Structure 1
Amino acid sequence: MVTENVYGVAVEHWNPFVPRFSGRIGSRLPFGRRRNNFGDLLGPVIVKRLLEQSVADPTALATLSATPHRLVAVGSILHFAHAGDTIWGSGVNGKMPESKHTFDRLDIRAVRGPKTFDFLEARGLQPTRVFGDPGLLVPRVFDHLPSISEQKQHSLTIVPNLHDHPAWAAHPETIDPTGDLVSILERIARSERVVGSSLHGLVVAESLGIPATLIAPTAESMFKYEDYYGGTGRNSFPIARDLQGALAQTPDPIEWDAQPLIDAFPSDLWSGITLSGPTKR
């Protein structure tokens, strides 16, 4: 896990080093470049921008001191949570055994979807029934994207999961999920259609009203996809085995109300500021 200090609150996200050497030892050496998978970078960025949009006096944020709070937001990273952490929109990683989840109490404001809800409830916790991946708030916090989305330049964009990228890299419409974050978001916004196995490629596309179809991942559990779709009110969803199958699908537009997730934003972790925007409670 990587901790990013967002005005005094530790916002956790996953961004491991790319191993410089093969094998177990190489994977444990803490140096080299970060992987920078764009979906894993969204958490701190969305939290920071949503807070900045919501505070009455933005200059007050610079005066905030460090706090003991930890916020886990965006991604399948609940197995990294510590007892007492605040959870807002993150989810369970279906590849992780239950034993990896060592917390016995959490401050749960929202979860990605009903599968994460059920997992936490079965462990004796009391999750709230506020569902949604905060990646769906991308058009709100990157507010230039909706206008860009009206100026289509690409009939198709393929956004593979990090592990699937090598298999798709040769296709001219494939983007590298470890590229520049804003450039990836803008490419998705300018696309008429998005397909692939990157969960956040689908999430961002759907947040902008762009038809998106999942191509079955080769290395990921289906848990996170089912969790996301369930969190946006869909118990079933189209899944393709290849590009031709994906393009043959006609996905329905998403119908999801962002307000409950916005209302659940844990603005109270930042004491000493006055809110006036979308996260005011």
Structure 2
Amino acid sequence: MLNKLVRQVRPPKRGEDGDADTKGYPVVDPYFWKPKVGLNFGDYLASAIVQRMLAAKELLVNEPVSRHRRLFSVGSVLHFAQTGDAIWGTGRNGKMGVDRHRFETLDIRAVRGPLTRRFLGELGHAVPDIYGDPALLIPKLFPNRFRRRSGEQAVGIVPNLHDTGLIVGDNIIDPTWRWDAVISAICACDFIVSSSLHGLVIADAFGIPCAHLRLSDTEPDFKYIDYCEGAGRSQFWSSTSVAEALDRGPLPPIAHDAEALMAAFPYDLWDA
């Protein structure tokens, strides 16, 4: 009898990320893209942010729910979505053609910006005009863990994952560091020059002046413009060197409604 009881209450198997294996019971799975080696801090923010949003309601990521769902949030990962997935702040990757988006219906709560909204609208999806990259919420979700520390470092350079070998220096902030280490390093800078989208997003979130650096043609402008327009930035431009970025100065500040994005979080997926 005791052995039978132990089997009944034993927790489900756990996947490589520590989340409950859906073979044990259905859960909501927060999606984030993983490179073949290591992690990219901008993509991993999806996990950290969803966990923190749930903690505000005393919920866990692996709460049992009535049916398995996937939640897409941070990242240019729309092309990985499948029919029935939920979307909260996700953006389209401008490198991916229409044929890579094979979903029929989506549960859309918010998107990164108006370019993604327009793209989904052209595919026949109803999309609310609630915009923003969820990484903009980091200061609200972690008010005591991360704070802007001006004066520690004049300039920080955040390369895109694909650009990490194209620039060197003591002020490089490596996007493969732990997510919290990257945020802390950005918060110590007075000016951020970044080819990483989330280098710009985190700088904007903490009110740190920033400029976009184009080191290669790997990433089209689509996601940067989509983010900037969704965050209420009046203009966007790129520089091809750190010297040019410093000479031109920072992009205009954003004017984003964080409360609307937070209010759109799909708590109802966790129906426990």
TM-score between the two structures when normalised by the length of structure 1: 0.83
Q: Is the 8 A contact 1:156 1:193 kept in 2?
A: yes
Alignment match, 2:196: 198
Q: Return the match for 2:47 from 39, 44, 48.
A: 44
Query: Which residue pairs with 1:155 in the alignment?
Result: 154
Task: For residue 171 of structure 1, report the CA deviation from its aligned partner.
Answer: 1.3
Q: Partner of 1:185 in structure 2?
A: 183
Mapped to 2, the partners of 1:97 and 1:256 lie a distance apart of 29
Q: Does 1:65 align with 2:64?
A: yes
After superposition, the Cα gap between the structure-2 partners of 1:217 and 1:142, relative to the gap in structure 1 and judged at 3 Å, is: farther
Distance in 1 between residues matched to 2:125 and 2:86, nearest whole Å? 13
Contact 1:5–1:11 (Cα < 8 Å) also in 2:
no
Q: Tell me: CA distance 1:232–1:164, structure 2 relative to 1, closer, same or farther (3 Å).
A: same
Check 1:3–1:77 CA distance in 2 against 1; reply closer, same or farther (3 A cut): farther
Per-residue deviation, 1:268: 0.6
Supply the AA of the counterpart residue of 2:174.
D
Could you tell me how far apart the structure 2 residues matched to 1:162 and 1:90 are? 19
Give the greater-gyration-radius structure (CA): 2
User: Structure 2: 5+ residue runs without aligned partners?
Assistant: 1-15, 21-25
Task: Give distance in 2, aligned partners of 1:144 and 1:165.
Answer: 30
Query: Where does residue 10 of structure 2 map in the other structure?
Result: none
Q: Aligned equivalents of 2:250 and 2:225: distance in 1?
A: 19
Partner-residue secondary structure (3-state), 2:244: helix
Asked whether the 8 Å contact 2:156–2:191 carries over to 1, the reply is yes
Amino acid at match of 2:31: E
Where in structure 1 are there 5+ consecutive unaligned residues?
Answer: 19-34, 273-281
**Counterpart in the other structure of 2:261:** 261
Give 1:4 shift. Answer: 7.3
Task: Give the direction of change, closer, same or farther, for the CA distance of 1:78–1:255 in structure 2 (3 Å limit).
Answer: same
1:233-248 → structure 2 map (5 Å cutoff): 233-248=232-247
1:104 aligns with 2:123: no
Distance in 2 between the 1:80 and 1:3 partners?
18
Q: In the aligned structure 2, how far is the partner of 1:104 from the partner of 1:113?
A: 21
Q: Is residue 157–residue 174 contact of structure 1 (8 Å, CA) maintained in 2? A: yes
Kindly state the Cα deviation for residue 144 of structure 1 after the two structures are TM-superposed: 2.5
Distance change (3 Å), C-alpha of 1:192 and 1:145: farther
Structure 1 residues 68 and 4: CA distance shift in structure 2, 3 A:
farther
State the superposition RMSD in angstroms: 2.0
Question: How big is the shift at 1:175?
Answer: 1.5
- The answer as to whether partners of 2:111 and 2:130 remain within 8 angstroms in 1 is yes
Structure 1 counterpart of 2:132, one-letter code? G
Q: Aligned residues, how many?
A: 249
Deviations 1:113-143 (A, max 9, x none): 0000000000011111100000101112222
Distance 1:192 1:9 in 2: 38
What is the match of residue 123 of structure 1? Answer: 123
1:12 to 12, 28, 31: 31
Shift of 1:202: 0.4
CA distance 1:165–1:217, change in 2 (3 Å):
same
Q: Deviations over 1:233-269 (max 9, x none)?
A: 2352132111111112133322212011001000111
Amino acid at match of 1:10: D
- The 2-side partners of 1:83 and 1:42 are apart by 23
Report 1:170-181 matches (<5 A): 170-181=168-179
Q: Is 1:38–1:178's contact at 8 Å kept on the other side of the alignment?
A: yes
